[in-house]
Structure 1
Amino acid sequence: MLLCLITIVFGGHAWAKSPTRVIDGDTIALNGIVYRLHGIDAPEAGQKCRKPDGKSSWDCGKAAISALEGLVLGQTVDCDDRGQDGYGRTIAVCKVAGKDINAMMVASGYAWAFRKYSNDYVDLEDRAHQNNIGVWITDKVTAPWDYRAELWKLGQQEAPDGCPIKGNISENGLIYHTPWSPWYKKTKIDVKQGERWFCDEAQALKAGWRAPYWGR
């Protein structure tokens, strides 16, 4: 696992540098705290996007993770604190050398402006779209929130009591997999071994499970 150094800033005071890791294309973890990048939504780890030919696809989710790693690994990153979301993650704008990482992810076409929550990066998304950058190499692209919603419905149809999140116990601890996890179909739940199903991520987190890390 590659590590970088990150400085968290609260109230204008910088805390000590500590190792961090990229969880996915819009999330970082530091000292047991998960930071969700404000105003953006990146493709999910297992998400694929269509190529211009309309037939083949590419791993846009993995590409987004690599893009974020390229921005932060080996760099000093400053993050602010904008409160928490419904999953206990701290919402933050993070910067490297004064440059907005959130903005760079959208400008490079590896994340959407999360318009449901913020309009801060809408212009950057529109520009990336116009220039056919990143996920915008074709107009036939599924936004991550639509991707999640579609797989969630499919997972509910197959899961016990309509609760599709799989709480797996592995050598890495208590890990939960949502229906859009790359390992979802491969993960089998054995309730006799203490594994279980969850109806939402908040329930899984409260029970002590965590989301998987997809970055290096």
Structure 2
Amino acid sequence: MLRWIGAIILVATPAFAGDALTGPVKVLDGDTLELQGRLVDLYGIDAPEAEQVCAMADESRYRCGQKAAAALRERIGTTSVSCLPQGGATQDRLTAVCHLGETDLSAWMVVHGHAIALRDGMGGYLAKQTHAWGRRVGLWAGVFDEPASWRRARLRAEPATGVKP
């Protein structure tokens, strides 16, 4: 009887808990992919949002979120990506280390200045960010709000959409 219960639990356990997902992806933004119908957040990084605007050193403005997504889209092309979930997965969304061949896509985004490393230091991306900052590439070539700060400011600025009595 216990064997049957164990077998039922194994069958009922979602496969997303730690299994790698591989296949073609759709780039949704600079740190989010769609793979096999699921949203995949690239592990250890945060990229500007699609609507986010940044400034170059000469003060010219550009849509850094769109640029980050375009860079990731161009890097991946039509090649299959392999993503290994890092915990915290739900039925529809997960955080994963994703590779294009041998290339860690999170590291690639940080090295090229299209995303920032999360401060928890996971994945070794902070050292790569320091290198990108030193070379003044991507976001580091100008001035930008950290994506999380930009999102918070945008939420505070949006008016409430409550129902009037």
**TM-score, reference length from structure 2:** 0.79
* 2: CA distance, partners of 1:48 / 1:87: 32
Pairing 1:44–2:49 present: yes
- 2:128 is matched with 124
| C-alpha separation in 2, matches of 1:65 and 1:112 | 14
Aligned-partner residue type, residue 102 of structure 1: S
- SS, match of residue 131 in structure 2: helix
Corresponding residue for 1:160? 161
- In structure 2, give the amino acid aligned to 1:48: V
Partner residue in 1 for 2:72 = 68
Partner of 2:151: 148
Aligned partner of 1:198 in structure 2 is none
Instruction: Provide structure 1 residue ranges, at least 5 long, that are not aligned to the other structure.
Output: 1-7, 162-190, 192-216
Does the Cα contact within 8 Å between 2:23 and 2:82 map onto a contact in 1?
Answer: no
Greater fraction of residues in helix: 2
Matched residue, 1:196:
none
Q: Note the C-alpha offset of 1:70.
A: 1.4
1:110 aligned counterpart, secondary structure: coil
Query: 1: distance between equivalents of 2:123 and 2:85?
Result: 18
Q: 1:132–1:86: structure 2 CA closer, same or farther, 3 Å change rule?
A: farther
Find the structure with the greater CA-based Rg: 2
User: In the alignment, residue 114 of structure 1 is paired with which amino acid?
Assistant: L
1:33 aligns with 2:52: no
Q: Which runs of 5+ in 2 are unaligned?
A: 1-15
Query: Could you tell me how far 1:116 is from its partner in structure 2?
Result: 4.4
Report whether the alignment pairs 1:98 with 2:105. Answer: no
Aligned-partner Cα distance in 2 for 1:87–1:58: 35
The structure whose RCO (Cα within 8 Å, separation 6+) is larger is: 2
Mapped partners of 1:74, 1:68: distance in 2: 12
For residues 108 and 37 of structure 2, what CA distance do their matches in structure 1 show? 25
Say which is worse superposed, 72-81 or 111-120, in terms of deviation.
Answer: 111-120
Structure 2 residue identity aligned to 1:160: T
For residue 81 of structure 1, report the CA deviation from its aligned partner.
1.3
